[in-house]
Amino acid sequence: MKCPFCGINNDQVLDSRPIEHAPAVRRRRECSSCKKRYTTFERPEELPIMVVKSDSRREPFDRRKIWVGIDRACRKRPISAETINKVVSKIEDEVVGEYIMEISSRNIGEKILEKLWNIDLVAYIRFASVYRKFDDISAFMRELKKLKKEYMKRQKNRKL
């Protein structure tokens, strides 16, 4: 590391600590030449993850879009902003953790539905109705029947 004071490329790491809630490391360094101390931060190089839309367009992954979609589905429901933020963070962690360069919007939508299922079924239906683009009442009813069947199955498994 090049010293910011004297420009010599010879230092010693005195202390390294991970940064809480960030994929970075804080390092305290001392220049071997001028003996001044300074701090550096190391972060992994992040390549942008691209989202492949249904029409094959690609756009950079945007955490905010996920947040807005979930927030709309959860409006007027007893779901805190903290819960929404946790869900968005979990989804982002899953996407980033898969170490892929591209992910389909469909895959992201399914991840959102999976999380909403465990939080609030009304929010799940709201999101599904937009995400799955129900064209008519029949499509909506099919989804509700599927939801009810799965809900009953999970309730039965809980009792066992």
159 is written with which tokens? 């009792």
- Domain locations in the chain? 11-42, 50-159
Residue 126, φ and ψ in degrees, nearest 5: -60, -50
Percent over 90 (pLDDT), the chain: 65
Residue 69, pLDDT > 90, answer yes
pLDDT tens-digit series, residues 90-123: 999 898 888 688 999 999 999 999 999 999 999 9
Give the Cα separation of 112 and 84 in Å (integer): 11
Q: For residue 86, is pLDDT > 90?
A: yes
pLDDT at 160: 66
- Position 150 pLDDT exceeds 70: yes
User: Coil, helix or strand for 14?
Assistant: strand
Q: What is the mean pLDDT of residues 16-28?
A: 87
